[in-house]
Amino acid sequence: MLTERQKSILGALIQEYVEMAEPVSSGELVKKYRLPYSPATVRNELLRLDRDGFIVQPHTSAGRIPTDKGYRFFIGENLPDPKSEKRIEKSFRPLRSINNEFNFLKHASRLLSELSGEFSMAGFFGRGVLYKSGIAEAFSDPEFADEKRIHEFSELIDFLDDDFKDFFVAEGLEEPRVFIGEENPIREARNYTMIISGCPTPYGEEAVFGILGPRRMDYNHNLALLRAMQRLFND
């Protein structure tokens, strides 16, 4: 179990890393987030969080970044915010007026990508229909400054259809599910995070939506997007 102080420091570190995509130092945390602890205390807590596997120091002289374990703990500590989801829901309301199921999937995928800033997917369970959007959004992430990562991600996108359908048709997706790095059931996607959610539609058939991107994604925002989509058609 982490102390409340460790939780606040870990949360601030993750927030800063998601925003800046650079290893985070204790000095940056104290200064920017006005933590009520001394720099020495924050440094000591970072050492403990590192020792316990929640963060890691990628270079000897650098700050620290979250690990998969750190992200997982962070997600578990941040409960859904219905008020935030209700505000986000307004962005999806134009989907209610679409009277063609395939246009619905196409527009939903595009909208989800625009709002998340990540690559997104939308399809119907068992039909083999999957719309994909957001290549430009995905490649704007700093992680894709490396040409090798661009090639790897492009190959992953090309082969997503069969893996996505075969695995998630059998999954219970009443709540969005987050697969971080090595947790990912799709082997080729284990350098990334995938968030998947089932969602009722006006067409008498449940759809599945997904967001795929770097581990360094805005988990709170992306989970809120998928929950807001569910609320729109559950109400």
- Mean pLDDT, rounded, for 5-9: 95
Q: Whole-number mean pLDDT of the chain?
A: 89
Q: Which of 44, 77, 110 is the last residue of a domain?
A: 77
Cα separations (Å) of 82 from 114, 206, 228?
A: 21, 22, 9
pLDDT digits (tens, 9 = 90+) for 151-209: 999 999 988 877 666 655 545 667 889 999 999 988 889 999 999 988 888 888 888 89
Shared-domain flag, residues 186 and 209: yes
Are 96 and 131 in the same domain?
yes
Confidence class for position 99, pLDDT limits 50, 70, 90:
confident
**Can you give the pLDDT at residue 217?**
95
Query: Are 131 and 122 a contacting pair, CB within 8 Å?
Result: yes
* 64 and 89 housed in the same domain: no
pLDDT given at position 75: 94
pLDDT > 70 in the chain, percent: 94
∠ CA(183), CA(172), CA(111), 5° rounding?
80
- DSSP 8-state code for residue 94: G
Verify that 24 and 112 share a domain, yes or no. no
- Give me the CATH number covering residue 62: 1.10.10.10
pLDDT of residue 214: 95
Same domain, 143 and 218: yes
Domain count, the chain: 2
**Which residues lie below 8 Å from residue 207, measured CB to CB, with a gap of 6+?**
105, 108, 122, 123, 124, 125, 198, 199, 200, 201
Report, as an integer, the average pLDDT of 108-116: 94
CA distance linking residue 207 with residue 169, whole number of Å: 10
The answer to whether the beta carbons of residues 84 and 224 sit under 8 Å apart is yes
- Asked if 94 and 62 sit in the same domain, the reply is no
Average pLDDT for residues 215-222, to the nearest whole number?
A: 94
Q: How confident is the model at residue 124 (pLDDT cuts 50, 70, 90)?
A: confident
**Are residues 123 and 159 both part of a single domain?**
yes
pLDDT tens for 57-68 read 987 767 999 999
Tens digit of each residue's pLDDT (9 = 90 or more) over 14-25? 999 999 999 999
Whether 195 and 135 map to the same domain: the answer is yes
Do 101 and 204 share a structural domain?
A: yes
Which of residues 41, 57, 77 is at a domain's end? 77
Domain C-terminal end among 77, 96, 117: 77
Q: What is the CATH number of the domain that holds 194?
A: 3.30.450.40
Q: Kindly report, residue by residue over 133-165, the tens digit of the pLDDT.
A: 999 999 999 999 989 999 999 999 988 877 666
Residues 97 and 209 in one domain: yes
Q: Look up residue 191 and give its amino acid.
A: N
Q: Which residue has the higher pLDDT, 47 or 207?
A: 47
Domain residue limits at 137: 82-234
Per-residue confidence (pLDDT) for residue 11, from 0 to 100: 95
Percentage with pLDDT > 90 across the chain: 57
Same domain, 185 and 102: yes
pLDDT at 192: 96
Same domain, 104 and 26: no
